[in-house]
Amino acid sequence: MGTKMTLHRYSPVTKDWEETLLFVDQNFLDTYGKVNPTIPTGHTYEINKGLLKVYLNGKRLNEGISYNEVDDQHIQLLLGADESGNPLNLKIGDQIFIEVYKNQYCSRGQATVSGTEFYELKKEITDARRFKDGDEPSRTLDERLDEIQRQLEVVYGGTAEVDIAYEHNSRDQITREIITGDYSLVREFTYYEDEDPHIKGEMKTETIYYTDSSGSLLNKVTKGYSYDPATRRLLRTSVRVDT
């Protein structure tokens, strides 16, 4: 017969996962494609820790077989092929459901912090310790801040007088910044247009022209900006210096 008992839980109950539901429509297909698309998970996760559950139309997908973890915010669906070898495609009306689990909770009294939150904090600090993607990060954040301060003292030390003029496009976005006076440089900006409607209006490139007192070009720095088309979040910045 056994013994029946009622279990009461008095400590806080914390949901240790986040959910993302993606509906496949024409906009989705235009953005991500229909064959083995790379899609956002909607929440940051630690890769290679088995922290995702992915479902396509209610069927759970297996990591490494039906999808791959790309980075800490994206996965690539692996839809396979039919009996004739033709690749399977996503179709309008399909639904993708993703559960993003937080890694290992650490609790002390009423406070609860997940390993994933520690991971996000560590990643943010590491990113702050480097100037560009691919750079070797400074040993500490304090060292990086000291470096920035030294550069500011070199650029802005002493007394300087400058005049800044702006040019705008029809959407009132700044397209040109002209600095004259004790410092002389020009910054030009371009923006995404109809070639990428999902991020239209976001800054595409920034070009900085450094000149000497006679107006001769010393060097040119060109920055390119890439965004997530779903969230419009800035993903990376490329920098090229021409001297």
- Report which of residues 40 and 161 the model is more confident about: 40
Same domain as 47, residue 124: no
CB of 176 closer than 8 Å to CB of 186: yes
Residue 135 within a domain = yes
Query: According to the model, what pLDDT value does residue 8 have?
Result: 47
Contact 88, 82 (CB under 8 A): yes
Contact 43, 100 (CB under 8 A): yes
Query: Does 12 fall in a domain?
Result: no
Full domain range(s) for residue 45: 17-103
Q: What is the mean pLDDT of residues 59-68?
A: 93
Beta-carbon count within 10 A of 97 CB: 15
The verdict on residue 141 lying in a domain is yes
Give yes or no for residue 34 having a pLDDT over 80.
yes
Is the pLDDT at 178 greater than 80? The verdict is yes
Which segment, 130-134, 159-163, 186-190, is predicted with the most confidence on average?
A: 186-190
pLDDT digits (tens, 9 = 90+) for 137-149: 777 777 777 776 6
Phi-psi region of 181 (alpha: psi -120 to 50; beta: other; left: phi over 0): left
Chosen domain end from 103, 124, 143: 103
- 3-state class (DSSP) for residue 76: strand
Q: How many domains does the chain have?
A: 3
The closest of 191, 187, 197, 196 to 221, measured between CA atoms, is 187
Q: Single out the residue in 152, 186, 213 at which a domain terminates.
A: 152
Residues 230 and 182 in one domain: yes
**Which pLDDT does position 105 carry in this prediction?**
54
Beta strands in 38-128 (DSSP E): 38-40, 52-56, 59-61, 67-71, 74-77, 95-101, 105-108, 111-114
What are 182-189's contacts with CB under 8 Å, separation 24+?
Answer: 184/210, 184/211, 184/212, 184/213, 184/215, 185/209, 185/210, 185/211, 186/211
* Tokens encoding 133: 């993607």
Tell me the pLDDT band of 27, cut-offs 50, 70 and 90.
very high
User: Looking at the DSSP assignment, which residues form a beta bridge with residue 224?
Assistant: 205, 238
Are 120 and 82 members of one domain? no
pLDDT of 111: 53
The crossing angle, in degrees rounded to 10, of helices 141-156 and 115-128 is 30
- Choice among 59-73, 157-171, 179-193, 228-242 with the minimum mean pLDDT: 157-171
